[in-house]
Structure 1
């Protein structure tokens, strides 16, 4: 029976078999459902790399230093009198402290190393308030996988990383060769040699197809990587753990930008001089320990999720977005592409509530569809991939808290 027919039931809960029954009742979405994320990233340790004339590498952990910085005041002077402006600049020096991270003078390349684990947690929800709806989504997920969905999403993740998203701000300061190296983190893996991709000339405005990416592969086989990821996501093989390293030439002694510690307003008020603070991890170096700067697992995870591009959301101004229910770009909110407003692409909850449309899109997919098929479709037809990508990356999907209900309860008291 087609999935779109299973998405509609009659009042007694049985599957509808006639057109008259089809219109009676739809499967109601649950108020809350949770999915364990199927892709789990570790933090990335950042190191400096020095290459000798013979090609030998000297790799050392990157550390941070804290120092005072003297700068001018640059804030707006709106609404201030001439006397107030003069008083403001009697002491024009703006002293503040902050963390800095630079390559050593003899090193010109930085490297990040992390691991990414792939599981099949998205096949069923971890918890749900609506079993009928969740069972239907589970059957749709399996049908999507059988038609090639796991392989397609896996290849898209590999291509997304090849755009250099994993470098974050450091991507803008790199020059010459930028490489991404992927290898099987489990002994006895099937990859053999690691897969190495030169990312510096890979297009960054959209997720490249494997056909576009292959000229930049200098070692290994990206198709083998995608096959192994698909096997883990579909449950056909066990958990897959990939070792991923990325490196870029930035120049001797140049600045590197790790993850920063987020301070709330109260912390900033208590310590006006707190300034920028980089995240670190305590690692062993020889017989001692050092605080090595890192990219947090959240930052690596966000880079992995950046596969929602114009072929999915259809907005040329939005660029490549992380997979989020509303397509929100936290760094550039104006580039969000899936807000529940007229003119925006379908968001996850609109699809979740209209599950028969998702079922129809799964039914419409050809057997073992390819990237070429996806690229020739209207972006709204690719909502099916966006929907399952949200399940893949996991989360708590709920109706949220009713603030009006709380305020009414307080008023009664």
Structure 2
């Protein structure tokens, strides 16, 4: 007999279990670490966008076009830029990340029975070793440098992971799915990470540093700030030593890369792994692959929570992909409340 569908509480949220810091860019000058800086630069661009030349599908009139393309009307912009110094060819990016067991129970829930059902799902998932699968996927993204984003095109990349007095150094392959499990210390770190997420061990705090060769004086790519009402490019930075702006990577962007583990969705053959999200949004394609009509979104699974607890409990060997996705969403954290109940 199938388990009854549950009604989502009107108050339900989870504290995120993966907590990255902002990242900072620097380079090494002998034994010294020096900031890679952001500064402003004025550029004069040409008109290149579709809307300035075409009206609908037709070219604008000759007189309007002449005005648009007149050099006197050049597209002047003052933008932020970030480059390595002329004599430096290698960048470094460092951040820290904490893994904690916040997925074992909701941070807030106004339905006692539903909160208990969530705890039972987490307990069943833990007992079947599900956290080890997720820990391996998060660790893969720490090592492969996915969080470097555009800077990942660097060569000779290395990622250093430090925790509890231990240091592991990985030579980073070009392929995101390269297998690092044979590297000494990998299995112990994966199991420590799984224990931190599952509550079978203490909180895990990692310091993560990547280094890569871009070329002398080449451009570095920090996060970009969204500044309301401003079109000019503003790069993320933190102020050091007065007004010096050290290039930075947003914690949200790092977190997005770390949780890019969802290849359990229906479009995996096209998009591969995507960031864990309730509706499976693929930002680069402006598409959601886990919409409600597919019954593969987070909320569809939460309504069938007792069913998935039963399936995890009964599983022999591999757990259902849906259970991994559901737990990954709880690890992600967020507000997962249902609609308010009608009086």
Question: TM-score surpassing 0.5?
Answer: yes
State the 1:294 CA deviation.
0.5
- For the structure 1 residues 289 and 89, does the alpha-carbon distance in structure 2 shift closer, same or farther, using more than 3 Å as the test? closer
Per-residue deviation, 1:400: 5.8
After TM superposition, give the deviation of residue 58 of structure 1 in Å: 4.5
**How far apart are residue 130 of structure 1 and its match?**
2.0
Q: Name the residue aligned to 1:339.
A: 291
Query: Could you say if the C-alpha distance between residues 331 and 26 of structure 1 is closer, same or farther in structure 2, counting changes exceeding 3 Å?
Result: closer
Measured in 1, the distance between the counterparts of 2:5 and 2:298 equals 18
Among 310, 322, 328, which residue is 2:275 paired with? 322
**Partners of 2:49 and 2:303 in 1: how far apart?**
46
Of 218, 229, 234, the residue aligned with 2:198 is 234
CA positional deviation for 1:57: 4.9
Structure 1 unpaired stretches of 5+: 9-24, 51-55, 269-273, 375-380, 406-413
2:258 aligned partner? 304
Question: Partner residue of 1:281?
Answer: 238
Give the structure 2 partner of residue 200 of structure 1.
173
Alignment of 1:111-122 (within 5 A): 111-122=92-103
Q: 2:48 aligns with which of 61, 74, 80?
A: 74
Residues 400 and 301 (structure 1 numbering): CA distance in 2 closer, same or farther, change over 3 Å?
farther
- Tell me, what secondary structure is at the counterpart of 1:282? strand
The TM-score normalised by the length of structure 2 is 0.90
**After the TM superposition, which residues 4-403 of structure 1 pair with which residues of structure 2 at under 5 Å, given as runs?**
8=3, 26-50=5-29, 56-76=30-50, 77-79=53-55, 80-90=60-70, 91-172=72-153, 174-175=154-155, 177-184=156-163, 189=164, 192=166, 194-201=167-174, 203-204=175-176, 207=177, 212-214=179-181, 217=183, 220-264=184-228, 267-268=229-230, 275-284=232-241, 290-309=244-263, 311-313=264-266, 315-334=268-287, 336-342=288-294, 346-366=296-316, 369=317, 373=318, 381-399=320-338
- CA 64–26 in structure 1, closer or farther in 2 if over 3 Å, else same: closer
**1:14 match:** none
TM-score (norm 1): 0.75
RMSD: 2.4
SS at match of 1:316: helix
User: Of the two, which has the highest radius of gyration?
Assistant: 1
Distance verdict in 2 for CA 1:171–1:401, change over 3 Å? farther
Contact between 1:47 and 1:62, CA under 8 Å: does it hold in 2? yes
Distance 1:340 1:356 in 2: 19
Give the gaps of 5 or more residues in structure 2. Answer: none
Report the alpha carbon displacement of residue 298 of structure 1 after superposing the two structures with TM: 0.9
Does the 8 Å contact 1:49/1:108 carry over to 2?
no
Residues 31 and 398, structure 1, Cα contact 8 Å, conserved in 2 = yes
Per-residue CA deviation, residues 338-388 of structure 1 (Å, 9 max, x unaligned), is 12245xx7111110111233123312433xx5xxx46xxxxxx30110000
> Which stretches of structure 1, 4 residues or more, deviate above 4 A after TM superposition?
311-314
Q: Which has the higher contact order (CA 8 A, sep 6+)?
A: 2
Size of the aligned set, in residue pairs, is 335
Post-superposition shift, 1:93? 2.1
Cα shift at 1:314: 5.0
Per-residue deviation at 1:39?
1.1
